[in-house]
Structure 1
Amino acid sequence: MRAVRLLDWGREPVLGEVGRPVPREGEVLVEVEAAGLCHSDLHVIDAAPGALPYRPPFTLGHEVAGRVATGSDAGERVVVHGPWGCGDCPRCAVGRDNLCDRRGELGWHGVGLGRDGGMAEYLLVPSARHLVPIGDLSAEQAAPLSDAGLTSYAAVAGVRHALGEDTTAVVIGVGGLGHLAVQILRATTASRVLAVDIREEALALAQRSGAHEGTLLRADTARVLRAAAGGVGADAVLDFVGNDATVGLAVDVLRPGGELVLVGSGGGRLTVRKPGVLPPGFRLSLPFWGSRPELGEVVALARSGALHVETERFPLSEAAEAFGRLRRGEVRGRAVLVPG
């Protein structure tokens, strides 16, 4: 079968031929219908040797939807819960593999992250517990839900208690995750949603996703956002970029006792010091994916019509073009690879 493989650190992935996996006891073979591309894939590709516990070569792709190809559930359409933990600890037992107690001992973080992933025609899943049914939801919509949707959902869930009536949430970075975070905020909270990006087209995407207001990242953006938040600042800021500029903006915008959710892996630094410039009483969270039960809730939102992923579709044979577009910031919403 064809698969998009990372052969070594610092090298662009290549499309090649590999053997179709054969499931053993407890494993499930999934015929892939769609696989999403993520900036995390770029972080993996560009990682220095030794920075991650993975060992190339392996197939990329941690956002995967398809059809069960073997066993009693053959034909069922599913999305794959991507973080694969040890399977034995108390957290894995309840579907919280993303927070596996033994994660530091494993040589992987999940599907396509040290283990062969879904940018291929078939995917071998170690256990049926990693599968969530999607019914008639299209694979192109379902695949990005497993990370872009799930990570955004978990990020919002962690601060939902602070987002009642007359509150403000700021979403920084309206890309594959950010545009879903805007929709999730609108669907599950009463908060006013403000969006920030460096691209006009991203602000247009935020508006289509339901943001009340959007603004470009400029020197006066903090002032503009604080004014839009009633002059007191935001109750929660969700940063899907995570570089020095956006982390600094988040701190400037947050009101005392506010919630900062740092999702993006842009290398930004936050200095914690008392006394210092951080808002008094603020809380910081660092979500990593989300649980399998939460993925079921995300799928239910999508099937209800409350959540829609804007996608750009590429055949598997054009994976290199898709990665190039992603690197250049030219992808609208989420890029999705489709076998064929």
Structure 2
Amino acid sequence: MRAVVFEDFKTFPVLKDIEKPTPGPGEVLLKVAGAGACHSDVAIFQDFEANNPAGLKPGFVLGHENSGWIEEVGPGVTGFNKGEAYLVYGPIGCGRCRACSRGQDTYCLNAATNPYMGIGLGRNGGMAEYVTLPARNLVPLGDADPVAAAPLSDAGLTPYHAIKLALPKLNGGGKFALVIGLGGLGLVGVQILKALTGATIIATDSKPEAMAEAEMIGALTVPAGPDQVAKIREITGGNGVDAAFDFVGITPTITTAMQSMALMGRCTVVGIAGQPYDWSFFSAPYEVELTSTYWGTIEDLYDVVALYKSGLVVPQFTAYPMDQALEAYQLLVDGKVAGRAVVTPNA
């Protein structure tokens, strides 16, 4: 079968033929409907050699945002029928610690000794015609389109988890939420905020076309620039935003978020660019929480699918056939992907 393989650090992935996998005990073989191309994949093959907190080693198929149809089940697996559509929960923990017991494999207490982080993260992922994975990691889609759903396993789950934790700050009238970075995650984040809160949503980006998309789904927009914070504060009546979500994670965007905060607000850095931010007691409004999140739980993903099936979350994406998978990654590297790029190996 054809697959996009990460062969070495500082090396662009390759499209090659590899052996079709066979599901082991407790696993299923999924015929891949859609595989999202993510900036995290780019970080793996471009940047992780020098800064590799997860200890990932080259030599695996990319793709941690996946959906597909049941093709085959392994020993001991019941309750799945060939052709049924599922969304894939990407993280894989040890399955026996406290975090994994609540479906939060992202915070597995045994992560340091696990053989991989998840599907497409050390273990062969879904940027291929077929992928094997634990049956536990499947969330049913019913008759919903699995191709459009594929990005939701990260670009939907990650903002949902961050927003869910910030909901206490957005309860009540007259609340304001700020979304920084309107790529695949940010645009879904705007939709989730609209679905779950009554807050006024302010969105900002350097790309006019991204801000136009955000306006279409209900956000007020402020362009990046020297007057950015002043304009955000003007919209809030000078008080600042109650919750901010930075989907970039570089020093200037974190600074913008923190300078835009209201007293006792919550600023969540979701983007994994990893750049530093200098905090001081006198530069931040009192009792502002500056925190981070990473992906989400299996339970969260069920909630995301429910929002998708109800039409409250509609991912913006462009589909690419398998022959153009590397082109999709190059466009991602070049910053020319609007929304999400989804590879369809079995289109």
Q: Structure 2 length as normaliser, TM-score? A: 0.95
Partner residue of 1:331? 337
1:54 deviates by 1.3
SS of the residue corresponding to residue 155 of structure 1 reads: helix
Distance 1:48 1:61 in 2: 16
- Residues 167-213 of structure 1 deviation map (CA, whole Å, 9 limit, x = unaligned): 100000011000000000000011100000000001011112221x1
Partner residue of 1:191? 199
Partner residue of 2:71? 69
Partner residue of 1:299? 305
1:48 deviates by 4.1
2:224 is the counterpart of 1:217? yes
Partner residue of 2:262? 255
Distance 1:267 1:85 in 2: 23
1:332 deviates by 1.3
Distance 1:298 1:314 in 2: 24
2:251 to 230, 244, 248: 244
- Residues 70-100 of structure 1 deviation map (CA, whole Å, 9 limit, x = unaligned): 1341222101101111111122122111111
SS of the residue corresponding to residue 152 of structure 1 reads: helix
Partner residue of 2:165? 158
Distance 2:291 2:120 in 1: 25
1:328 deviates by 1.6
List alignment gaps of at least 5 residues for structure 1.
none
1:107 deviates by 3.8
Runs of 4+ in 1 over 2 A off after TM superposition: 47-52, 104-108
Distance 1:284 1:76 in 2: 41
Q: How does 1:135-214 map to 2 (within 5 A)?
A: 135-164=142-171, 165-211=173-219, 213-214=220-221
Contact kept, 8 Å, 1:4 with 1:59, in 2: the verdict is: yes
1:68 deviates by 1.2
Distance 1:231 1:276 in 2: 18
Partner residue of 1:27? 27
2:317 is the counterpart of 1:279? no
2:327 to 298, 307, 321: 321
Distance 2:324 2:47 in 1: 23
Partner residue of 1:13? 13
Q: How does 1:120-139 map to 2 (within 5 A)?
A: 120-125=128-133, 127-139=134-146
Distance 2:111 2:279 in 1: 26
Partner residue of 2:113? 105
1:95 to 103, 108, 115: 103
Instruction: Provide the alpha-carbon RMSD of the alignment.
Output: 1.2
Q: Structure 1 length as normaliser, TM-score? A: 0.96
Amino acid at match of 1:242: G
Contact kept, 8 Å, 1:315 with 1:337, in 2: the verdict is: yes
Distance 1:101 1:58 in 2: 24
Question: Which deviates further from its counterpart, 174-183 or 75-84?
Answer: 75-84
Question: Which deviates further from its counterpart, 92-101 or 79-88?
Answer: 92-101
Partner residue of 1:55? 57
Identical positions, percent: 40
1:285 deviates by 2.3
SS of the residue corresponding to residue 47 of structure 2 reads: coil
- Residues 29-53 of structure 1 deviation map (CA, whole Å, 9 limit, x = unaligned): 1110110011111111112436321
Count, aligned residues: 337
Distance 1:209 1:329 in 2: 22
Amino acid at match of 1:261: T
List alignment gaps of at least 5 residues for structure 2.
none
- Residues 277-298 of structure 1 deviation map (CA, whole Å, 9 limit, x = unaligned): 1221011221110000110000
